[in-house]
A = this chain, B = another copy of it.
Amino acid sequence: MSLPTWQDRAAARVAEPGEGISRDELALAARNHAMPAEALRWDVTPVGLHYVLVHYDIPAVDAATWRLRVDGGAGSVVDLSLADLEAMPRSTERVTLECAGNGRALLEPRPVSQPWLTGAVGTADWTGVRLVDLLDRVDLRPDAVDVVFRGADHGTERGEEQDYARALPLDEARRPDVLVATEMNGVPLPVQHGFPARLVVPGWYGMAHVKWLTGIEVLDHTFDGFQHRAYRLRQHADDQGVPVTRMLPRALIQPPGYPDFMTRERNLPAGPVRLTGRAWSGRGEVTRVEVSTDDGTTWREAELGPSAGPHAWRSFGIDWDAAPGDHRLRARAGDDTGAVQPLEPAWSRGGFANNGDDAVPVHVHLMPRG
């Protein structure tokens, strides 16, 4: 066999048919946690319930000595302390953030990586400095192409030792809603969410939101770091693929009734019940959610809650007269660009941007006679 190409090295392995979840996948599932589905009840996800993915270790950052270096690429550099950053004008954005690999463990065959079901999502109020205000403090090179963001988290991934780093095109980086955030839901960033400062790029999947920021640098070329080679939609090992960027539309149902401990299947008394949930898209406003109570055979349009801004999930609800028996609840979202959530998720070697839904099994039973 020849040595793997860079594409191969950057891609997740794909599980054999019927191959169970491995100990490595379990170890990732134990340390990187999803949002539990009942947390869909909150507009803003309580800290600690928001999904978190840490590629390496949570780094130990000393806020007293931490510095953020911003290099415009034209010889002009600023070097900021946390106090410097906090003294600048501040802005808050409510943002729904989803891991690009959300739903990966539901795919067949299964890409072997962090084995998300559908809970790799959350919504927070992020407060910090506008990135454009930081970029305006340095002279930018006239031939600027990309802005690269480096984190303090360090490790190896498919043989390549690295600090986590991702870039944005300059136009995207200058959007007024892109933040260098130091607060989450009104408190300093929790350590696992990037303390003391992280990037927030509303609309993009989580890999763009670099945590534990140490440096921002303007480049005269397209950045081709590991995480850009890794986060691509590829069908086979020789497929260079296309970059993963913005979130596709997705809806999740808040599971009704009460669960079984082991199966997480739901029990629900027969009768009228309001089904609710949340839907989001990183490409446009959610304008339509449909719900099925018969595993996708028939669909009804749900009522949408008020818009929660351009970047936060939107609530939906629909009445259901639950008849005794077994049901499977599904939901699908569409946005104002015309994008609609597919009934079968798109497969790729990394399991990225697969915006399938996940059926919620419900056992409806008659109430005991009183």
- How many subunits of this chain does the assembly comprise? 2
Q: Which residue of B lies closest to A368 (CB)?
A: B161
Q: Is the CB of A49 within 8 A of B157?
A: no
Q: Is the CB of A56 within 8 A of B259?
A: yes
Q: Per-position contact with B for A111-132: 1 when CB-CB < 8 Å, else 0?
A: 0110111010000000000000
- A19 CB-CB contact with B under 8 Å: yes
Query: When A20-B20, A105-B26, A267-B161 are in contact, do A258 and B57 touch as well, CB less than 8 Å?
Result: yes
- A2 CB-CB contact with B under 8 Å: no
Which among A19, A112, A161, A258 has the greatest number of chain B C-beta atoms within 10 A? A258
Q: Is the CB of A27 within 8 A of B117?
A: yes
Q: Per-position contact with B for A15-33: 1 when CB-CB < 8 Å, else 0?
A: 0000111111111111111
A44 to B: closest C-beta gap in Å = 12
A26 to B: closest C-beta gap in Å = 5
What chain B residues lie within 8 Å of A190 (beta carbons)?
A: 46-49
Cα of A264 to Cα of B34 in the assembled complex, Å: 19
- A39 CB-CB contact with B under 8 Å: yes
Q: Per-position contact with B for A82-123: 1 when CB-CB < 8 Å, else 0?
A: 000000000000000000000001000000110111010000
Q: Which residue of B lies closest to A52 (CB)?
A: B48
- A367 CB-CB contact with B under 8 Å: no
- A58 CB-CB contact with B under 8 Å: yes
- A221 CB-CB contact with B under 8 Å: no
Q: Is the CB of B264 within 8 A of A116?
A: no
Q: Which residue of B lies closest to A51 (CB)?
A: B30
- A242 CB-CB contact with B under 8 Å: no
Q: Is the CB of A26 within 8 A of B31?
A: no
Q: Which residue of B lies closest to A38 (CB)?
A: B57
Cα of A56 to Cα of B58 in the assembled complex, Å: 29
Cα of A258 to Cα of B157 in the assembled complex, Å: 11
Q: Per-position contact with B for A127-156: 1 when CB-CB < 8 Å, else 0?
A: 000000000000000000000000000111
Q: Is the CB of A30 within 8 A of B261?
A: no
A305 to B: closest C-beta gap in Å = 17
Contact of A34 (CB < 8 Å), options: B19, B31, B46: B31
What chain B residues lie within 8 Å of A117 (beta carbons)?
A: 26-27, 30
Q: Per-position contact with B for A36-64: 1 when CB-CB < 8 Å, else 0?
A: 11110100001111001011111010000
Q: Is the CB of B156 within 8 A of A267?
A: yes
Cα of A190 to Cα of B45 in the assembled complex, Å: 11
Contact of A24 (CB < 8 Å), options: B19, B161, B264: B264
Q: Which residue of B lies closest to A35 (CB)?
A: B31
Q: Is the CB of B24 within 8 A of A57?
A: no
What chain B residues lie within 8 Å of A321 (beta carbons)?
A: none
Q: Is the CB of A155 within 8 A of B26?
A: no
Cα of A26 to Cα of B260 in the assembled complex, Å: 15
Q: Is the CB of B30 within 8 A of A119?
A: yes
Q: Per-position contact with B for A153-165: 1 when CB-CB < 8 Å, else 0?
A: 0111110010000
- A191 CB-CB contact with B under 8 Å: yes
Contact of A262 (CB < 8 Å), options: B54, B60, B157, B260: B157
Given A21-B23, A47-B47, A156-B267, 9 additional A-B pairs, CB 8 A: A19-B20, A29-B30, A30-B116, A38-B57, A47-B48, A49-B58, A49-B192, A57-B259, A158-B262
Residues of A within 8 A of B (CB): 19-34, 36-39, 41, 46-49, 52, 54-58, 60, 105, 112-113, 115-117, 119, 154-158, 161, 190-192, 255, 258-264, 267
